[in-house]
């Protein structure tokens, strides 16, 4: 029985037990799973993400993406699957949208009174996925521990968090969304 059929009908099957689960192991690097929780390493999930992104000729073919811990049953992200189907996914970064970069810079200038520095860095990770759907822009907030980022030792001062929050609010109040 396909998992979607089982999950959709479980309310109609009180007391039903799963005796076994079988699936083919994905080949190579095409499968990823992430669990986000407040308590590491064994805390309850705030959200989970499973993505199978097999490629052929450098392009995604047969994408399958699901979220867990967001509803009573896991939820397939079918719109995201359609958005990336046939697209190339690689480790290259994507450029931020110039209008959004300018909007962030203007917000930072209004809040701090200083021109913000520009980083010569393309956007990676999440932005690569979002760029196929919409324009992207990023606000970088400095780390308080010498620049360690994406690591359990990453830290942020209260002052930097305050400035970042005020810049974010200003951005939301002033950004012009193209029609």
pLDDT, one tens digit per residue, over 21-72 is 777 777 777 888 877 776 666 767 777 888 888 888 878 899 888 888 766 7
Max Cα–Cα distance, the chain, nearest Å: 64
CATH 1.10.150 domain locations along the chain:
98-174
pLDDT exceeds 90 at position 79: no
The confidence score (pLDDT) of residue 122 equals 56
CATH code 1.10.150 for 98-174: yes
Q: How confident is the model at residue 169 (pLDDT cuts 50, 70, 90)?
A: very high
pLDDT exceeds 70 at position 124: no
Sign, Cα dihedral of 94, 166, 146, 46? negative
CATH architecture under which domain 3-84 falls: 2-Layer Sandwich (3.30)
Q: Kindly provide the residue ranges of all beta strands, DSSP E only, lying in 10-161, ordered along the sequence.
A: 31-37, 45-52, 55-56, 59-60, 64-68, 75-76
CATH 3.30.390.50 domain locations along the chain:
3-84
Sequence-ordered list of residues with C-beta below 8 angstroms from that of 56, at least 6 positions apart, any chain: none
């Amino acid at each position: 029985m396909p998992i979607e059929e089982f999950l959709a009908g479980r309310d109609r099957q009180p007391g039903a037990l799963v005796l076994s689960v079988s699936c083919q192991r994905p080949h190579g690097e095409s499968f990823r799973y992430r669990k986000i929780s407040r308590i590491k390493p064994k805390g309850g999930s705030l959200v989970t993400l499973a993505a199978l992104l097999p490629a052929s000729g450098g392009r995604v073919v047969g994408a399958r993406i699901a979220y867990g811990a967001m509803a009573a049953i896991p939820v397939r992200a079918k719109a995201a699957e359609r958005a990336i189907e046939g697209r190339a996914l690689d480790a290259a970064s994507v450029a931020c949208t110039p209008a959004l970069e300018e909007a962030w810079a203007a917000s930072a200038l209004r809040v701090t009174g200083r021109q913000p520095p520009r980083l010569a860095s393309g956007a990676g990770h999440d932005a690569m996925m979002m760029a196929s759907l919409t324009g992207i822009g990023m606000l970088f907030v400095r780390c308080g521990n010498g620049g360690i980022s994406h690591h359990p030792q990453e830290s942020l001062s209260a002052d930097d968090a305050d400035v970042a929050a005020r810049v974010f609010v200003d951005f939301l109040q002033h950004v012009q969304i193209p029609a």
